[in-house]
Amino acid sequence: MIELETVKPFFTDKDELLDEILGRYPEYGRRSAIMPLLWEVQRAERHVSEARIEEIAEILGMHATEVKGVMSFYSTYHEQPVGEYHLQVCSTLSCSLAGADEMTDFLVEELGIVNGETDAEGRFSLQKVECLGSCGTAPVLQVNDTYFERVTRTRCVQLLQALRSGELPEPWRERGGDNVSAEKATLGGDDA
Amino acid sequence: MKVKVNDTELELAPGTSAIDAVFAAGYDVPYFCSQEYMSPIGACRMCLAKVGAPRQDRATGEWILDEETGEPKIFYFPTLMATCTTAIMEGMVIDTLSDEVRGAQNGMVEFTLINHPLDCPVCDKGGACELQDRAYEYGSGLSRFRFDKRHQEKHHALSELITLDRERCIHCKRCVRYFEEVPGDEVLDFIERGGHTYIGTLGEGLPSNFTGNITDICPVGALLDATSRFRGRNWEYDHTRTTGLDDASGSAIIVDARTGRIERIKAALNAEVNKSWIDDGTRFGHEYVDAEDRIKTPLVRKEGELVPVTWEEATGYVKAKLEGIADKELGIVLRADATLEEGVAAKALADHLQTGQLDHCPRPKASVLPEGDAARFTDLATADAIFVIGDVSEEVPAVDLRIKDALKGVSPPASLPHGVPIADLRLKERMPRKAGLLTVAAPYRVDLMRHAGRSVCYPVGGETAFLSALVKLATVEDELSEEEVAALGMPVDEGRALIERLAQAQNAVIVYGSFVLASPAARNAVIALAKAVKAKVMVMGPMANSYGLEAIGVMPSHARYSYQQMIRGGAKALILSGLDPAQDPSVAEALKDLELLVVHHHFANATTALADVVLPAKTGYEKDGTVVNLEGRYLPVRSAPVDGGQSEDFTGLVRYLGEALGVRLDGRSTRSAKRALNHLLAVDLRDLPDEGLLAKAKSRPLRRVSVKEQEAVSGNVLLVPSMVRPEFVSRNPQLRAAFGDVALCLHPDDADQMKLVGGERVRLSVDGTLRKATVRVSETVPQGIMLLPATPEQPVGLVSADLATLVKESSELEVA
């Protein structure tokens, strides 16, 4: 309750955004807007707090428990703030075989945090996740919404360097030219 | 449609689910997630069966035949089907007995038990557990699961009334669906997913008046009634099916008692009344029965002290005292949840003693009998326009739920050979609600308004003006005057739209309760409105048998003999059952002048302190008899084996007093009372069926009372109906913990002005009676008015409180 009173509501000055999101759904399907609203909050605040859940519930005219139920179903919504760079290491079979476990160990060592933690500066979070659907280019590391594929040790070091200096490199996509930066990526992380 | 279940062929209506076909055929299939009156979702996968149907040739439209037999060929679904979500088809074949099906059921039992703890020996559900039964019937008795079971919280208090054991939960989703589908508030939900799923809430408690029902429908021991947790095993309880006397709905309940004590109350099924749901007031409001200070023996005042005596001595004393009192000077009053039998006994006693001073209390100024076309619960649940005046969710919560049925627009299911359909395929999760058909009017914002298409807050105490304005809109072409527009509380166009909606509906129902009954003029107006728009009416009387007691005429023979007159010097001797008028100091003064005061009650109170004779009264759970609910339905009240000492109901009192007087009065026993009632009403009340009897009784009160209209138009406290009965709340600790103390609700501005904050305990003289309450501040309360729950002695209506008498209890403590 105290939090509710002191934190400014997220959607206060965002009437336009709110109208746009709510406008996507018919009146009887208003609850469909739970997902995009949660997403808006998380994009801005890197997590969705209880106060925000209650705010969304009030906007949609439902109980906060219902919003929480939807949110908790998806592991990609966070209850606690994640770091500026959310490192998600695929830990399903193909990636494991291609060295994802070693990558995790390396990241744990480098960052000083274990699976599920965020560092003290709030810069990095590390999370082992299930299949990211990129088995052909294992191992895969997803940083926020960006895929980095065939992550070798060298690439990993370079990636961390870049992230520490505050820039998110172009993604390395290796799926045969489905991406403009594919060519660059074949050169490996050398130019990163 | 013809369906074949194993070897049984039967004919069922299209739309029936396959699971109901199986049960209709007399076979059994296990299930956990389906539940009467709720949507089937196929979550538990227990009701698997091999299902197939013949197929028609698309080109010719003829049945494809089996080449060998020449019969239509049965095409089976490629996998076993969940029968609860499968609708029957013409010629469908359902197999529940083959090895394949048995194997699948066995597998599901094993799967469900993987994470289920072996708590059965200490589990409250043990012996009445669906999972236990099904595991026994359909499981192999063995587990191949050699790993650690999931460990989760075992004693999570979902609310003060419900404890959740998360390890036992099998994720059938009944409770989650219940809240969304029945009361319409999703206050409980699945959190997380997969094997980590648990049910939970965000924030504290379950904000609903109907939470206890989830403990009834939980197929395992995950959701437990906190009042009965660890109190006994199911096979030790005596299960008594009776009628709840908590409100006028006549909801069916099962009283589970053990060693003379009520341990819990569960909902019973009455398809035409409460279905299988009851409110929390009815379910958890029983603890007072076992309160330590319950009076269990008759008491007679000797040398200023009340001393225990026998019934014979007590009634002998009363008889001796009565000899000095002239006819017509004795008054007899029952509380309005007394049974018909008690009413007959009171009447017989009054007749014998030749007094017209007979009444029941609370008795609203206007008649609680519906005039015109009376609505049944079924009419309400199938209505296409509903207009509610009052706060049904507090007054008669069962009405609230039946209104929500109407919003779904699904008519009550047809009865099958095995009862209510287990899976009614017309019901869906998150059905769209037709809020537009519901209009709610009340003097303040009430809970049902959240579900209503239109809600109106008319001025406090303005029922008559509000309804008269609507009647004028419905009957006369004239424009409303400015005053009338103000009384309407909404734009005139909306008023006209409401009238139009009611008039055009095929099955319109107007529901009204104590706010309207507080004034005969308002009641006449609502009847006129109902006639004008051709709507049925449903009247919510203040107590369980208000309808019945008025119908059989437990009424004064003249207005000057009413209860209010009796206790203020109108009578020289009084027999009061279940009432405590001496809370009002001026009444207490008047009672001191009585020559005889007999109080028949469960507990010592201000009135027993003045009484010459105190007689122990049975509670509503200990009586045998009949009540009439708000539909006019005769419902049986049966006694649970509860230790009430020498308590008697009013028929017992009349029996003992009759013996002392040397007469055999009607109503000296429930049997003789039923004979008298048969004579009076031409309804045989012996062996009433569980679901009650809707009989055409004489609907006119046998004694009519002309009431002089005394509109209370001013006041600063509105006494309001409350689901939690304030007179018992101090002796119902669990209910009190959940719903809080008696609340004095007021607007934030008023609270500021009076320097009150929420949660403060205050005392205040309301209409002469000192009331204790806890302050609750709410924007929903109109400014300049305070809301306080009504009691039998202080019925619903507008009264005045002397703000000078307001004392904060906490500050007084500090001084002390």
Encode B793-809 in three state secondary structure: CCCCEEECEEEEEEEEH
B73: its two tokens? 């060929």
Q: Tell me whether the omega of the peptide bond preceding residue B362 falls within 30 degrees of 0, making it cis.
A: yes
At A157 the pLDDT is 93
Closest CA of chain A from B199, distance in Å: 9
Rounded CA separation B667/B649 (Å): 11
Q: Which residues of chain B have pLDDT under 70?
A: 697-713, 810-816
Residues B670, B595 share a domain = yes
Percentages helix, strand, coil for chain B, rounded to the nearest 5? 30, 20, 50
Residues B277, B262 share a domain = yes
Residue B415 resides in a domain? no
Q: What percent of chain B has pLDDT over 70?
A: 97
Within B124-206, residue ranges assigned H as helices are 130-138, 174-181
Q: Which residues of B touch A50 (CB under 8 A)?
A: 202
A residues 130-189 lying closer than 8 A (beta carbon) to B: none
- Comparing CB atoms, the residue among B186, B192, B193 nearest residue A66 is B186
Residues B690, B611 share a domain = yes
Q: In the listed set B284, B316, B348, which residue is the last one of a domain according to the structure?
A: B284
Closest CA of chain B from A38, distance in Å: 16
- Is there a contact between B227 and B287 (Cβ–Cβ < 8 Å)? yes
At B707 the pLDDT is 54
The alpha-carbon radius of gyration of chain A (Å, integer) is 19
Under an 8 A CB cutoff, do B202 and A68 touch? yes
Q: In the listed set B284, B309, B328, which residue is the last one of a domain according to the structure?
A: B284
- Comparing CB atoms, the residue among B189, B192, B193 nearest residue A65 is B189
Q: Which residues of B touch A72 (CB under 8 A)?
A: 191-193
Give the DSSP letter string of A96-143: HHTTHHHHHHHHHHHHS--TT-B-TTS-EEEEEES--S-GGG-S-EEE
A residues 41-70 lying closer than 8 A (beta carbon) to B: 50, 53-54, 62-69
Residues B523, B382 share a domain = yes
Rounded CA separation B482/A104 (Å): 77
DSSP H/E element including B331: strand B330-335
Phi and psi at A141, nearest 5°, equal -120, 125
Under an 8 A CB cutoff, do B186 and A62 touch? yes
Which residue of chain B is at minimal alpha-carbon distance from A49? B202
* Residue B82's CATH number: 3.10.20.740
Residues B524, B384 share a domain = yes
- Is there a contact between A164 and A187 (Cβ–Cβ < 8 Å)? no
DSSP H/E element including B616: strand B613-616
Please give the C-alpha separations between residue A88 and each of A25, A29, A85, A111, A123, in angstroms, as whole numbers.
32, 33, 9, 13, 14
- Comparing CB atoms, the residue among A31, A63, A69 nearest residue B190 is A69
Q: Which residues of B touch A67 (CB under 8 A)?
A: 202
Residue B660 resides in a domain? yes
Closest CA of chain B from A106, distance in Å: 29
Residues B487, B354 share a domain = no
A5 has a chain B CB within 8 A of its CB: no
* Residue B779's CATH number: 2.40.40.20
B529: its two tokens? 């409105």
- Is there a contact between B424 and B452 (Cβ–Cβ < 8 Å)? no
Q: In the listed set B497, B526, B541, which residue is the last one of a domain according to the structure?
A: B541
Residue from A1, A3, A50, A66 to probe the interface with B (highest B Cβ count within 10 Å): A66
Under an 8 A CB cutoff, do B188 and A67 touch? no
Q: Which residues of B touch A62 (CB under 8 A)?
A: 186
* Residue B512's CATH number: 3.40.228.10
Residue from A27, A52, A63, A73 to probe the interface with B (highest B Cβ count within 10 Å): A63
- Is there a contact between B115 and B74 (Cβ–Cβ < 8 Å)? no
Over B651-692, what HEC string results?
HHHHHHHHHHHCCCCCCCCHHHHHHHHHHHHCCCCCCCCCCC
- Comparing CB atoms, the residue among A31, A53, A73 nearest residue B202 is A53
Q: How many domains does chain B have?
A: 5
The range of the structural domain enclosing residue B327 comes to 299-363+547-694
Rounded CA separation A90/A97 (Å): 11
Under an 8 A CB cutoff, do A73 and B432 touch? no
At B715 the pLDDT is 85
- Comparing CB atoms, the residue among B189, B430, B432 nearest residue A69 is B189
Residues B672, B551 share a domain = yes
Tell me the mean pLDDT in the region A3-12.
71
Residues B686, B737 share a domain = no
Residues B253, B186 share a domain = yes
Buried b (16+ CB within 10 A) or exposed e, B130-158: bbbebbeebbeeeeeeeeeebebeeebeb
Tell me the mean pLDDT in the region A27-50.
92
Report DSSP state, residue B810.
H
Residue B517 amino acid letter: L
For the sheet containing B330-335, what is the strand order? Answer: B305-308, B299-302, B613-616, B596-601, B573-577, B330-335, B358-361
At B170 the pLDDT is 94
- Is there a contact between A70 and A38 (Cβ–Cβ < 8 Å)? yes
Please give the C-alpha separations between residue B748 and each of B714, B757, B782, in angstroms, as whole numbers.
21, 9, 10
Q: Which residues of B touch A49 (CB under 8 A)?
A: none
Residues B681, B624 share a domain = yes
B317-337 pLDDT, tens digit per residue, is: 999 999 888 777 899 999 999
Q: Which residues of B touch A63 (CB under 8 A)?
A: 185-187, 202, 207
Please give the C-alpha separations between residue B175 and each of B162, B179, B778, in angstroms, as whole numbers.
12, 6, 29
Residues B811, B684 share a domain = no
DSSP H/E element including B516: helix B514-517
Residue B410 resides in a domain? no
Residue B119 resides in a domain? no
Residue B134 resides in a domain? no
Which residue of chain A is at minimal alpha-carbon distance from B451? A61
B191 has a chain A CB within 8 A of its CB: yes
Rounded CA separation B582/A169 (Å): 83
Domains detected in chain A: 2-73 (1.10.10.1590), 85-191 (3.40.30.10)
B553-597 pLDDT, tens digit per residue, is: 999 988 888 999 899 988 999 999 999 999 999 999 999 999 999
Under an 8 A CB cutoff, do A65 and B192 touch? no
* Torsion on CA atoms B747, B749, B750, B752, rounded to nearest 10: 120
How confident is the prediction for chain A on average, in pLDDT?
86
Residues B505, B384 share a domain = yes
* Residue B358's CATH number: 3.40.50.740
Closest CA of chain A from B230, distance in Å: 29
Contact residues for B457 (Cβ-Cβ < 8 A; gap 6+)? B441, B442, B443, B444, B445, B489, B782
The bridge status of strand B438-442 relative to strand B385-389 is parallel
Under an 8 A CB cutoff, do B186 and A65 touch? yes
Percentages helix, strand, coil for chain A, rounded to the nearest 5? 50, 10, 40
B651: its two tokens? 């028929």
Q: Which residues of A touch B193 (CB under 8 A)?
A: 72-73
Closest CA of chain A from B446, distance in Å: 16
- Comparing CB atoms, the residue among B188, B192, B430 nearest residue A65 is B188
Closest CA of chain A from B739, distance in Å: 19
At A2 the pLDDT is 46
- Comparing CB atoms, the residue among A28, A65, A73 nearest residue B201 is A65
Distance of CA B490 to the CA centre of its chain: 31
- Is there a contact between B190 and B176 (Cβ–Cβ < 8 Å)? yes
